[in-house]
Amino acid sequence: MIGRNDEELKELFGKFLNSQEADRAVEDVLKGEQILSEHPAPEPADELIAGIKAEIAEAVHGRRENVLRKVVYKALAVAAAVIILAAISTQLFEEDNGTPERTYVASLIPWSVWEGDDITADDADLATLVAEVEEIEQDLAVLQLGEDAGNGRNAVAELETELIEIESNFWKE
Amino acid sequence: MAESDNLAQIIIGCKDGDAESFSQIVDMYSRRCYGYFYRLTGNSDVSDDLLSELFVKLVSKISSYKGGSFESWLFKIASNIFHDYLRAKQRWGKLLEAQKKQLESKITQARQSDSERIDKLQIELGKLNADTRELIMLRFYSQLSFKEIAKMRSEPIGSILSKVHRGLKKLRELMER
């Protein structure tokens, strides 16, 4: 930026006025400014300047305090955030390591039955039961078809008794 | 060059919050800024207040100074303070125009209670257009070039040259009467 002292007034006015007009304009400006120089404005009182300096010192001090206060507030905010995060993390951590809730379930069916894929293979009692039931079914089928030559009525009752006995024994295990 | 280096150092001190650096700025510019305010308001009490406001504002605004002409930056703030003052004065009045005229007259006329001597220049300055008067004062007290003033006021340089030329020519005629 060209400073005032380096400014070529003639050249500047010459951009808008012809040479003669530019000369006159420069003369008007210089003479006008000379009048201003010859009539200086009053100067500020020493007390005013001293007061301004004191006010500035106070403002600078206040500004520093504000900066310091901002730093402290920021630090407090960060500390609070860290504490909150730590508390939340601890809570989550404790929940992760906690013993899972245990569910107690009562069942009439033996546990081993639920554990295996092949029920009959995994549980010998059940296998025996299944075999006995199948045998009784066959006997019943024979009786129903009239293939049994003896006292059929008694044989059925006998078989039913046997079945009940087997069943009750099985569920006792 | 040494002067501008010195000013740059002082400004760095101001930005660091050094009260002594601000004091140096006050010593360097208080006369010119006071003259600017005084010639625009014609009132020493108002000029005192505006000068105080300017330098206190400087403390909060110094961080926004990013280089370039310090005078231009400082007088831009001074100009804004003066306009704020004018607006405040205008708000106080019931009738805006009436207040403006009252303000214009206050600039040039000495009050009976005002013990200060109002010089001829102050009276004649009051006869100039307000905008022209402000431009002339800005040019004289800030010591900025026409180009800097045009940039600062976002006005074409031709317009600035024309206003200042006509204003100073008229002032000269008034003063030579």
The pLDDT profile of chain A, 173 residues, written as one tens digit per residue, is 445 655 688 899 999 999 999 999 999 999 999 999 999 999 999 999 999 999 999 988 887 777 777 788 888 888 888 888 888 888 777 765 655 566 665 655 666 656 656 655 656 777 777 788 888 888 878 777 765 555 556 676 777 787 787 777 766 65
When divided into structural domains, chain B yields a total of 1
Same domain, yes or no: A90 and A120: no
- Tell which of A36, A38, A46, A53 to mutate to test the B interface (max B CBs under 10 Å): A36
Domain extent, residue A84, equals 61-99
Using a 10 angstrom Cβ sphere, with 0-12 exposed, 13-18 middle and 19 or more buried, the burial of residue B59 is buried
CA distance A59 to chain B (A): 7
- Separation between Cα atoms, residue A101 and residue A159, nearest integer Å: 48
Question: Is A67 among the domain residues?
Answer: yes
Interface size between A and B, measured as CB pairs under 8 A:
122
Q: Which of B3 and A121 is assigned the larger pLDDT? A: B3
**More confident position, A115 or B13:** B13
| Shared-domain flag, residues A84 and A118 | no
CB contact under 8 A, A48 and B52: yes
Rg of chain A in Å (alpha carbons): 56
Q: Which domain holds residue B103?
A: 2-175
Backbone dihedral angles phi then psi of residue B130, each to the nearest 5 degrees: -55, -45
| A116 and A95 in a common domain | no
Whole-number Å distance between alpha carbons of B87 and B90: 5
Same domain as A78, residue A128: no
In this predicted structure, what is the pLDDT of residue A6? Answer: 53
Alpha helices in B16-129 (DSSP H): 19-41, 44-61, 70-92, 96-108, 120-125
| Residues above pLDDT 90, as percent of chain B | 73
| pLDDT above 70 coverage of chain B, percent | 84
Cβ separation of B146 and A39 shorter than 8 Å?
no
Residue B164 has pLDDT above 90, yes or no: yes
For the cut 60, the answer to whether the pLDDT of residue B113 exceeds it is: no
pLDDT recorded at residue B119: 82
Q: Name the minimum distance, in Å, from the CA of A86 to any CA of chain B.
A: 37
Same domain as A148, residue A115: yes
Residues A116 and A89 placed together within one structural domain of the fold: no
Q: Which residue has the higher pLDDT, B78 or A2?
A: B78
> How far is residue A62's CA from residue A68's CA, in Å, rounded to a whole number?
10
Asked whether the beta carbons of residue A12 and residue B146 sit closer than 8 angstroms, the reply is yes
ipTM: 0.80
Mean pLDDT of B21-38: 96
Left, alpha or beta for B145 (phi > 0: left; psi -120 to 50: alpha)? beta
Q: Chain-centre distance of CA A95, in angstroms?
A: 16
What is the arithmetic mean of pLDDT over B37-46? 94
Between residues A139 and B136, which one has the greater pLDDT?
B136
| A46 located within any domain | no
Question: Distance, in angstroms, between A88 CA and closest chain B CA?
Answer: 41
Whether pLDDT at B142 is above 60: yes
pLDDT at A29: 93
Total of domains in chain A: 3
Asked, for residue A115, whether it belongs to a domain, the answer is yes
Residue B80 CB-half CA count within 13 A: 12
In a domain, A43, yes or no: no
Q: How far is CA B124 from CA B45, B86, B170, in A?
A: 21, 20, 9
Long-range CB contacts (within 8 A, 24+) of B78-86: B78/B33, B78/B36, B78/B37, B78/B50, B78/B54, B79/B134, B79/B138, B79/B152, B81/B50, B81/B53, B81/B54, B81/B57, B82/B36, B82/B37, B82/B40, B82/B41, B82/B50, B82/B134, B85/B41, B85/B46, B85/B50
The answer to whether residue A45 is domain-embedded is: no
The dihedral sign for the CA sequence A154, A155, A158, A159: negative
pLDDT at B112 over 50: no
Nearest to B72 by CA among B123, B22, B115, B29: B29
Higher pLDDT, B79 or B98: B79
Q: Let me know if residue A131 belongs to a domain.
A: yes
Q: Say how far apart CA B64 and CA B61 lie, in whole Å.
A: 6
Angle (CA) B122-B175-B97 rounded to 5° is 45
pTM over 0.80: no
Query: Domain with B58 in it: what CATH number?
Result: 1.10.1740.10
Check CB contact under 8 Å for A57 and B19: yes
